Structure 1
Amino acid sequence: MPSLFKRSLLPKLRSFPLSADAFSILPGAADFRRCLLEHIANARQRITLVALYLQQDEAGQEILDALHAAKAARPELEIVVMVDWLRAQRGLIGAGKQPGNAAWYQAQTQAHDTHVPIYGVPVQTRELFGVLHLKGFIIDDCVIYSGASLNNVYLHKFDKYRFDRYHVLNNKPLADSMQHFIEHDLIQTKAVHRLDLPTLPSTRSLRSAIGDLRSRLKKASYDTRQGTVGHFGLSVSPLLGVGKNNPLSRVICELIASSQQQLTICTPYFNLPLPVTREINRALERGVRIDIVVGDKTANDFYIPPSEPFKVIAALPYLYELSLRRFAKSHQAMIDSGLLNLHLWRDGDNTYHLKGMWVDDRYTLLTGNNLNPRAFRLDLENGLLIDDPRRELLEPRRKELDAIFAHTTRIETFRQLETLTDYPPAVAKFLRRVSRVRIERLLYRIL
């Protein structure tokens, strides 16, 4: 397919051949938890878990206990857990001063005879300006890919769940490629240290090493030398991205530009980067039908009910809704024509964390990228691009989309979305103050 970009990446991507029976989609968070625990218990060679965080709660304990049990059963197993360095050393937002998960990691290491190292990756010196947002759990030759982190709600341990996407790919070259990046581009650097051991170095003392790591990551990529260019069957390409104009961000824009009939986009936080908005507008002008699925503000993981005390973080879902309302207002004619369809996801008091894209009947992008300015510039992101030129995955693809749309409502007009006058007084007061001092635009760049 011809590209509209002068330096197009899409036709040059190296990919690994993938058989249809080696690819499966899990229907929900509870299935994801069971699948992950089953693979950990049956692992024979390696287990590498990469997530934003491994939380100290019942589900987090279940995962960590499973890792120690697997190591005790097979001491030759190579086990690595990687989480964000800064996120692991603070408590939950709005919960007051807490020691963070790192203290729990250290206590667990002391409580077990088995060796399960937990590494912290500092993508920046401050969490606000970049975190480890890589996704993917590598177990032997299998990659379990999801945007989920590891805690009660992401793993549906109890009543509530956080809805995400869950894919299982049995593909040794892909698993090897992702494992190689973890070992050579992260663990072996001076910035990455174990969080499960006492006497952690201070982030300040690592400033130089963190700067070196970030510079290195901007040039890094997955090793795809075992892959091929121009493969004509089902295949998967791993993508990496951090910083401005990174390969993952560029491919996302190229995928939108390549769409001819239909495009579906999922994001939990509606705050599209300008390049994405431009490509969406061009696609609409071409006559592409576009569906965008966003979480209702009450399904946002930062949402706090008005009955609870106001915290600044509680304003975020309302900021995203205001952004969505502006977008809907400027595209009302396309909404009326049925070419643009904006859908709000809501299922009780559960939360929504889906990301990714479906392009025509060919491409599917699995990613943790939120399709916002932060993901395009600050965080370390990755993704798996599934290319299906023979339409071998249409049925599982359809089932996944049906499950996503099952709890959505289409926005018929921008007036369905609330404004400042409808918001709780404390939220409206904060947002008016933000607007007056003109820092709203800055917030959209880093949130």
Structure 2
Amino acid sequence: MPSLFKRSLLPKLRSFPLTADAVSVLAGAAEFRRCLLEKIASATRRIYIVALYLQQDEAGQEILDALHAAKLARPELDVVVVVDWLRAQRGLIGAGKQPGNSAWYQEVTRTHASEVPIYGVPVQTRELFGVLHLKGFVIDDWVIYSGASLNNVYLHKFDKYRYDRYHLLHNRELADSMQHLVQHGLVASKAVHRLDLPNLPTTRSLRNDIGDLRSRLKHAAYDTTQGTTDRTGLSVSPLLGVGKNNPLNRVICELIASAQQQLTICTPYFNLPLTIIREINRALARGVKIDIVVGDKTANDFYIPPSEPFRVISALPYLYEISLRRFAKRHQRNINSGQLNLHLWRDGDNTYHLKGMWIDRRYTLLTGNNLNPRAFRLDLENALLIDDPHGELLEPRGKELAEIFQHTRRIEHFQNLETLAEYPAGVAKFLKRVSRVRIERLLYRIL
């Protein structure tokens, strides 16, 4: 179904043809970790790892050790790791002053005979105003795509996991395109430096280079010259975006606008941009059935139990619930009719990090984009749009959705969601103060 936008990008996207057997949906975080380690061990030409962070913990160590082992066994391998520059140089939130992962990277490089360069990409001069949020690992001609970063919980190393989506695509042209962007659009920039070597430049000294990089990224795109605009068969289109009104944002809105029967949206942080809210309202008006799956506030990765001391960051899950409650209240009539279904995901103490969209029986959007104002304005984001006009992937698509819905409950009424009066005292006090000084709207834009 073509987009309803006057200056539409959707029909003009160049894509790479796919076969149905070249696309796999991995079963969960543990399977994702197993697949990643297997592909690293068997790589013969290239390994490009791009993530928000590679954490110094058991799972992170396992991944970094595997990369060094692969490089040592096959020195001709092109191995590159890319993470966010600022995130790599700070400790965990709430854990006190720490050197960050970069100190660990430097120690690993110093003590290994093999060389695995780890580059830091500064999307902004401050982490609050933008990070590297690109997803996708390129290993030979495979692309492993997930919203997950690399640590114990994302990789389900021990008891707890953070639930995400995990896709494996075998397509040389797609892998080439994603590698080309990393190699020429990121690593080649003067703003990008190796984090695994000592004597790092200060972020302040890189301000001009960072500004130049961000300006160029606003006009950057994946190289799809080897692709086609023929959309008659199964295909995949890589998308890139940073800043207001970028191509990825526009395609997301066009996809919602193109929905005629059914739309499913997943986001861990319910704080939808106004442009998405408008398209959802229009979709409801034309009769589209919509399912939105969000994490229960206790399944949010910022959630802190009330029994623990209050920290400002622990108010975020409650802010998202307030936003969800307002949305549900405005659309209670659609909820009552069954046209709009809001689902809360929760599975014990595990956390929820899913994002993406399913449009009618044709389009599937794989992305790390949280579908919030921060993702739409500040972070460097990407996505893979799978176009399936003949329904060749309906079976694995259905299985993935069934797995997602397995741990959800439907919100029957907006009053089923808690209010400020029911929140822990520290959270309620902070949120009242935020509302009183009128900075709530600003928080929604940057968090």
TM band (smaller chain):
over 0.9
Deviation at 1:5, TM superposition (A): 1.1
Equivalences for residues 244-259 of structure 1 within 5 A: 244-259=244-259
Q: Distance in 2 between matches of 1:231 and 1:350?
A: 39
CA contact (8 A) 1:181 1:223 kept: yes
Amino acid at match of 2:19: S
Q: Distance in 1 between matches of 2:30 and 2:113?
A: 30
Aligned to 2:197: 197
Aligned to 1:10: 10
Matched, 1:102 2:86: no
Q: Distance in 1 between matches of 2:104 and 2:61?
A: 10
Deviation at 1:2, TM superposition (A): 3.7
Deviation at 1:178, TM superposition (A): 0.4
Give the SS at the match of 1:357.
Answer: strand
Unaligned runs of 5+ in 1: none
Aligned to 1:285: 285
Q: Distance in 2 between matches of 1:36 and 1:290?
A: 33
Amino acid at match of 2:128: L
Equivalences for residues 12-411 of structure 1 within 5 A: 12-411=12-411
CA contact (8 A) 2:222 2:238 kept: yes
Q: Distance in 1 between matches of 2:73 and 2:195?
A: 24
Aligned to 2:440: 440
Q: Distance in 2 between matches of 1:320 and 1:286?
A: 27
Q: Distance in 1 between matches of 2:6 and 2:287?
A: 23
CA contact (8 A) 2:272 2:372 kept: yes
State the number of aligned residues: 447
Identity %: 82
Report the CA distance shift for 1:44/1:2 in structure 2 as closer, same or farther (over 3 A): closer
Q: Distance in 2 between matches of 1:61 and 1:39?
A: 16
The alignment's C-alpha RMSD in Å is: 0.4
Q: Distance in 2 between matches of 1:425 and 1:125?
A: 35
Q: Distance in 1 between matches of 2:230 and 2:42?
A: 35
Deviation at 1:259, TM superposition (A): 0.2
CA contact (8 A) 1:365 1:384 kept: yes
Deviation sequence 1:306-347 (CA, Å, 0-9, x none): 011110000000000000000000000000000000000000
CA contact (8 A) 1:57 1:151 kept: yes
TM-score by length of 1: 1.00
Q: Distance in 2 between matches of 1:270 and 1:30?
A: 26
Q: Distance in 1 between matches of 2:91 and 2:321?
A: 27
Deviation at 1:264, TM superposition (A): 0.2
Deviation at 1:4, TM superposition (A): 2.0
Q: Distance in 1 between matches of 2:126 and 2:357?
A: 30
Deviation at 1:395, TM superposition (A): 0.2
CA contact (8 A) 2:242 2:376 kept: yes
Deviation at 1:393, TM superposition (A): 0.2
Q: Distance in 2 between matches of 1:75 and 1:231?
A: 40
CA contact (8 A) 2:120 2:192 kept: yes
Q: Distance in 1 between matches of 2:307 and 2:62?
A: 33
Give the SS at the match of 1:291.
Answer: strand
Q: Distance in 1 between matches of 2:78 and 2:355?
A: 30
Give the SS at the match of 2:15.
Answer: strand
Deviation sequence 1:365-396 (CA, Å, 0-9, x none): 00000000000000000000000001000000
CA contact (8 A) 1:11 1:230 kept: no
Deviation sequence 1:123-147 (CA, Å, 0-9, x none): 0000000000000000000000000
CA contact (8 A) 2:3 2:255 kept: no
Give the SS at the match of 1:290.
Answer: strand
Q: Distance in 1 between matches of 2:435 and 2:230?
A: 49
